[in-house]
Amino acid sequence: MEDKYLIKGGTRLNGSVCISGSKNASLPLLAASLLTADKCVIKGVPHLLDTSNMMKMLSGLGAQVSFQGSQVAIHARDIRETGQLYQYARKMRASCLLLGPLLVRTGEACLPLPGGCAIGSRPVDLHLKGLAALGAEFVADKGHIRATARKLTGSEVSLSYPSVGATENIMMTAAAAQGCTTIINAAAEPEIVDLANFLNKMGARVSGAGTQIIQVEGNPDLHGAVHTAIPDRIEAGTYLIAAAATGGHVRIKNVIPDHLRSVLDKLQEAGVPIKEGTGELTVGPSKELRPLQITTEPYPGFPTDLQPQFAALLATVPGASTITETVFENRFLYLDFLRRMGAQIHVNGPLAVIKGVERLSPAQVEATDLRAGAALVIAALKTPGETEIGEIYHLDRGYEDMEGKLSSLGACVRRVTKQAANL
Ligand code: EPZ
């Protein structure tokens, strides 16, 4: 169903919005629940296409999964590698997070090689290298990865790049392996710390999460645990930027300001007034903003997942701003659609130079990935007239009830489903 948004922009966002649990924390937490035959409960899980697909994959492997409100109970008592994963795994790269837990529980795993996507080729070589160091063997077989592991033993793994997913896969596998594992050049994102906290509740002994060196003392008898996912820092950043872009006054609740330090610094550098409270942030009405130079980096650097949203903000900031994307090799596809709205942006490899224009114009555009879609929503919200955004299933992957939250802030957002449009 190709739903689309019709957004009548040009009004300031005002009011308060509550941030959901983190998609990028929930996905590894759900995968980690496979590591034990006991029941686990994960709270604060957002209703998204991605979390729903992960739960379908867990059920397809034989786990009992129930989702009430934002609480997921998973009981992976009997797990069988059924090869049923393909239909869901194709749609979601995070399915590769099941590799480690499946090797722990069944000694084998067969997952489709994750395809490329709009932001790059998305290889999994660092995942495989790390799991191989713990004793796994892999065969690439007709677009699938067939993995086996007779025994998983702790080891030292040095990552050539601080990959979030590879760090998570290695940490989950090491948590149940015999002996100690050291992960060098590990990713330090808040979602890694959240996963480490859950693994420790399950009986593992993980230390150093949030730094570049993570130590894991494995425990082959991990037990069930209850855990609440951290708030979604990227959703929070998206609403911060939307508020700033429309010159609105918005209170953002259920957020951990420290998880957004680099983003808050950049917004304040641009002249956006932001007040920090306990678990919340308030964006004040902003007058003329100043241009910025942004470079995306692994955490705690500026997050690549908020790069497109910043481009939408900077498109109408007087002066020349630059965005250098260092994490993904191709995360500027969405700029074509901002240009269709009148943005003046020149790209040279990893560098985008944005020349601020007076205002954008409404147009028909399409989301090319989750955060690109968010950028187009922000551009539409601040542009007088009606903008149509197609392919918004990308947004449904990562933003819980976006139209509801935006409407409660005074935005004029309407979702049109294809059938209705054909009537
Ligand atoms: C996670 O993806 C996030 N997804 C991404 O968010 C986020 O953009 C990314 O981390 C970077 O912060 C989830 O957590 C579910 P990586 P992941 O492995 O783990 C290369 C969103 O919008 N690489 O840190 O896939 C890779 O190609 C999504 O919510 C290898 O070369 O990211 C990329 O260039 C988008 N080999 C870079 O590392 C590997 O084996 C970062 O990838 C793995 C990664």
Query: Helix (H, G, I), strand (E, B), or coil: what is residue 251?
Result: strand
User: Residue 182: its pLDDT value, please?
Assistant: 98
pLDDT lower than 50: segments of the chain: 423
The 10 Å Cβ neighbour count of residue 363 is 20
User: Residue 1: its pLDDT value, please?
Assistant: 57
Choose one of 23, 49, 97, 122 to mutate for the ligand 1 pocket test, by most ligand atoms within 8 angstroms of C-beta. Answer: 122
User: Residue 262: its pLDDT value, please?
Assistant: 98
User: Hey, which residues are catalytic here?
Assistant: 117
Domain span(s) for CATH 3.65.10.10 in the chain: 3-20+231-421, 23-220
Place domain 23-220 in its CATH homologous superfamily: Enolpyruvate transferase domain (3.65.10.10)
Distances in whole angstroms, Cα of residue 97 to Cα of each of 67, 111, 127, 150: 20, 10, 9, 19
CA of 230 to the centre of ligand 1 (A): 19
Nearest to residue 34, comparing CAs of 165, 224, 236, 181? 224
Place domain 3-20+231-421 in its CATH homologous superfamily: Enolpyruvate transferase domain (3.65.10.10)
What gap in Å lies between CA 396 and CA 404, rounded to an integer? 12
CA of 163 to the centre of ligand 1 (A): 6
- 9: tokens are 């922009």
Tell me: the pLDDT tens digits for 351-407?
A: 999 999 999 999 999 999 999 999 999 999 999 999 999 999 999 999 999 999 999
User: Residue 99: its pLDDT value, please?
Assistant: 94
User: Residue 90: its pLDDT value, please?
Assistant: 77
User: Residue 84: its pLDDT value, please?
Assistant: 64
Residue with tokens 């009548």: 8
What gap in Å lies between CA 305 and CA 291, rounded to an integer? 19
What gap in Å lies between CA 127 and CA 170, rounded to an integer? 7
User: Residue 115: its pLDDT value, please?
Assistant: 62
Query: pTM for this structure?
Result: 0.97
Tell me: the pLDDT tens digits for 315-366?
A: 999 999 999 999 998 899 999 999 999 999 999 999 999 999 999 999 999 9
Q: Which residue has a Cα nearest atom 44 of ligand 1?
A: 163
Q: Which residue has a Cα nearest atom 28 of ligand 1?
A: 305
